[in-house]
Amino acid sequence: MRFGSLVEGLDAKPDTQASLDVPVSGFAIDNRKVAPGTVFGAFQGMRVNGEDYIPAAVQAGAVAVVARPEVRVEGAIHIASDNPRRLFAQLAARYFAPFPDVTVAVTGTNGKTSTVELARQLWRMLGHHSASIGTLGVTTSVDQVSTGLTTPDIVTFLSNMAGLKREGITHAAFEASSHGLAQYRTEGLPVSAAAFTNLSRDHLDYHGDMDSYFEAKMRLFDEVVAPQGAAVVWADDAWSGKVLQRATKRGLRVLSVGVQGQALRLANRTPTQLGQTLEVEVEGKSYKVNLPLIGAYQAANALTAAGLVIAGGEDVARVLELLGRVQPVRGRLERAVITRAGAPVYVDYAHTPDGLRAAIDALRPHTRGRLIALFGAGGDRDAGKRPQMGKVAAELADHVIVTDDNPRSEEPSSIRAAVMAGAPGAEEIGGRRAAIAAAIAQAGADDIVLLAGKGHEQGQIIGDRVLPFDDVTVARECAG
């Protein structure tokens, strides 16, 4: 592919008279990944300034550099833009195309992974070749490959999407995290529908305040989803009204979902032993759904996923019926083991105050005795959420154990202290294995144990080392 054809028609200003007729062999945002023929995106980051690596990228063979107009580029074409991340995404998308025919995105503080995974499963049961991209990696019905981040960088994202298309995937759902949206990591390809799950405290270390965090997420509806696209909005969140306004203003086809939803109205929800029964009203008709997942939050994610699939033209009755056959999502209210005493141990990815509330609320109807909640808070992440997580747990659980969850570069005991400050009466046990062992030893026959915060994660990040750690395995070992 020639660079000139990639730039054609885009609002891009090559500041050179040199020929644009050069072959392009790839795209990179990290100079260490530049090979001869690469287009390099030079962006100002949080940690370092990618513009400083332009000479190294050119040295390594970059043929063009996408960067701000004021930046100096020598020895390669300079494609200048005031928003280089966006332009880079547009160029890269042209290079990597084609993509799966139907692509949908999910944003929100909690529920993205569950929603994209359930959408993938629904499509598969409808007979489509489907995939999801997010925290669990790239998932198809035959494969799961981890990418490290929820929203991978733009080059990984677009090349993964193109790779899926080559494998025959026609339907793909991806998570759009607020970091990813702010950094244009998931742009360029046509997105036919976007969903909003909820908004609550997280990531304020990066976004500053809730309004900026909300705005970052709204780029999905304002800019990323296609102009003729659909917005699926969980209607029962405090921020939903604002999202609905934005989506309507953009002229999107709006499907609101939930107790206050108009398109899919949740008229009733009754927990059963292994799941829940939902009564859903659509265009005046009532449908009964036997969802084999527990928890109000998973009902919300399941209906949001159904909304995305229905927005793509699938039959309502069929989609709602298929919700009765979905599989659990890895690490989201996953039952790891039943202890010798008879207490079920659940692993969940709750890592925010709201997530913890949702996880505890989900388990409460299934608890006859005490609900024992164990969790920690991540290091080098939003510190303000720590006492709030403590407070939610202390209020809603019968016993709280505060332990470690990826301390990263921080001192584990100070993270625990910050959580403990919000959780009067909690027990502090450093070292996650010892804490899990203690929780399991304390649980009686009627009790239930919640291990929150790590879900599917396979490691404990201490300093810059990742030690193998899996809550499900450790729970089984401690219960054995």
Ligand X SMILES: Nc1ncnc2c1ncn2[C@@H]1O[C@H](COP(=O)(O)OP(=O)(O)OP(=O)(O)O)[C@@H](O)[C@H]1O
Ligand Y SMILES: CC(=O)N[C@H]1[C@@H](OP(=O)(O)OP(=O)(O)OC[C@H]2O[C@@H](n3ccc(=O)[nH]c3=O)[C@H](O)[C@@H]2O)O[C@H](CO)[C@@H](O)[C@@H]1O[C@H](C)C(=O)N[C@@H](C)C(=O)N[C@H](CCC(=O)O)C(=O)O
Interior angle at CA 277, CA 274 and CA 280, nearest 5? 150
| 332 is an interface residue for ligand X by CB under 6 A | yes
Closest CB 408 distance from ligand API, rounded Å: 8
Contact partners, residue 248, CB within 8 Å, separation at least 6: 254
Choose between 116 and 362: whose C-beta lies nearer to ligand Y: 116
Single-letter amino acid code for the residue at 113:
T
Which residue number, 94 or 112, has a Cβ lying nearer to Mg ion? 112
CA–CA dist 65, 29 (Å, integer): 10
Which 89-128 residues touch ligand X, going by CB under 6 A?
108, 110-114
Candidates 51, 187, 404, 405: give the one binding ligand API (CB under 6 A): 405
Instruction: Tell me whether residue 115 or residue 177 sits nearer to ligand Y (CB atom).
Output: 177
Instruction: Pick from 103, 150, 200, 276 the residue near ligand API by CB under 6 A.
Output: 150
300 binds, among ligand X, ligand API, ligand Y, none (CB under 5 to 8 A by kind): ligand X
Compute the least distance from the CB of residue 157 to ligand API, in Å: 16
CB of 399 to ligand Y, least distance (A): 27
Cis bond leading into 98, ω under 30°?
yes
Please name the residue that has the structure tokens 């998931």: 186
Residue among 216, 210, 202 nearest 382 (CA): 202
Number of residues that bind ligand API (CB under 6 A): 9
What backbone torsions phi and psi does residue 406 show, to the nearest 5 degrees?
50, 70
Among 90, 107, 140, 150, binds Mg ion (CB under 5 A): 150
Q: Is 457 annotated as a binding residue?
A: yes
Task: Tell me which residues in 283-302 interact with ligand API (CB under 6 A).
Answer: none
Q: Which of 229, 331, 378, 390 is close enough to bind ligand API by CB under 6 A?
A: 378
Look up residue 145 and give its two tokens: 């490959």
Please pick, from the candidates 51, 187, 354, 470, the single residue that binds ligand X as defined by CB under 6 A: 354
Instruction: Rank residues 150 and 276 by Cβ distance to ligand Y and give the closer one.
Output: 150
Q: Is 351 in the site for ligand API (CB under 6 A)?
A: yes
71-74, long-range: CB < 8 A, 24+ apart: 71/42, 73/15
Member of 139, 197, 339, 406 binding ligand X (CB under 6 A): 197
Which residues are bridge partners to 23 per DSSP?
A: 2
Give which of ligand Y, ligand API, ligand X, none residue 358 binds (C-beta under 5 to 8 Å, depending on kind): ligand X
Q: Contact region for Mg ion (CB under 5 A) — 149-157, 223-231, 264-272, 411-419?
A: 149-157
Nearer to Mg ion by Cβ, of 175 and 187: the residue is 175
CA 174, distance to chain mean position in Å, is 8
Separation of alpha carbons 23 and 37, rounded Å: 6
152 marked as binding residue: no
**DSSP states of 303-365 as a string?**
HHHHHHHHHTT--HHHHHHHGGGPPPPTTSSEEEEE-TTS-EEEEE---SHHHHHHHHHHHGG
Structure tokens at 15: 């500041």
The yes or no reply on residue 304 touching Mg ion (CB under 5 A) is no
281 has which bridge partners?
265, 286
- φ, ψ (nearest 5 deg) of residue 212: -70, -35
| Distance separating alpha carbons of residues 87 and 46, to the nearest angstrom | 19
Judged by CB under 6 A, the chain residues 369 through 428 that form the site for ligand X are none
Cα separation of 31 and 152, whole Å?
A: 17
Nearer to ligand API, 320 or 347 (CB): 347
Q: Is 453 in the site for ligand API (CB under 6 A)?
A: yes
- Report helix angle 385-396 to 353-363, nearest 10: 20
Burial class (CB in 10 A: 0-12, 13-18, 19+), 411: exposed
Cα separation, 471 vs 167, in Å, equals 33
Q: Which stretch binds Mg ion (CB under 5 A): 60-68, 104-112, 256-264, 272-280?
A: 104-112
107 counts as binding Mg ion under rule CB under 5 A: no
Interatomic CA distance for residues 65 and 445, integer angstroms: 63
- Given the rule CB under 6 A, which residues bind ligand Y? 29-32, 43, 45-48, 50, 53, 149-151, 153, 177, 179-180, 183, 206
- Tell me if 2 is assigned to a ligand binding site: no
Strands 64-67 and 38-41 come out as parallel
Q: Which does 110 bind (CB under 5 to 8 A by kind): ligand X, Mg ion, ligand Y, none?
A: ligand X
Q: Which of 111, 155, 202 is nearest to 455 (CA)?
A: 111
Comparing C-alpha atoms, which of 425, 381, 472 is closest to residue 178? Answer: 381
183 is known to lie in a ligand binding site:
yes
**385 is an interface residue for Mg ion by CB under 5 A:** no
Residues that bind Mg ion (CB under 5 A): 112-113, 135, 150
Residue ranges of the annotated binding site are 108-114, 150-151, 177, 183, 185, 381, 405-408, 453, 457
Residue ranges of the annotated binding site for ATP are 108-114
Residues that bind ligand X (CB under 6 A): 108, 110-114, 135, 150, 175, 177, 197-198, 297, 300-301, 332, 348-350, 354-355, 358-359, 455
Residues that bind ligand API (CB under 6 A): 150, 351, 378, 381, 405-406, 453-454, 457
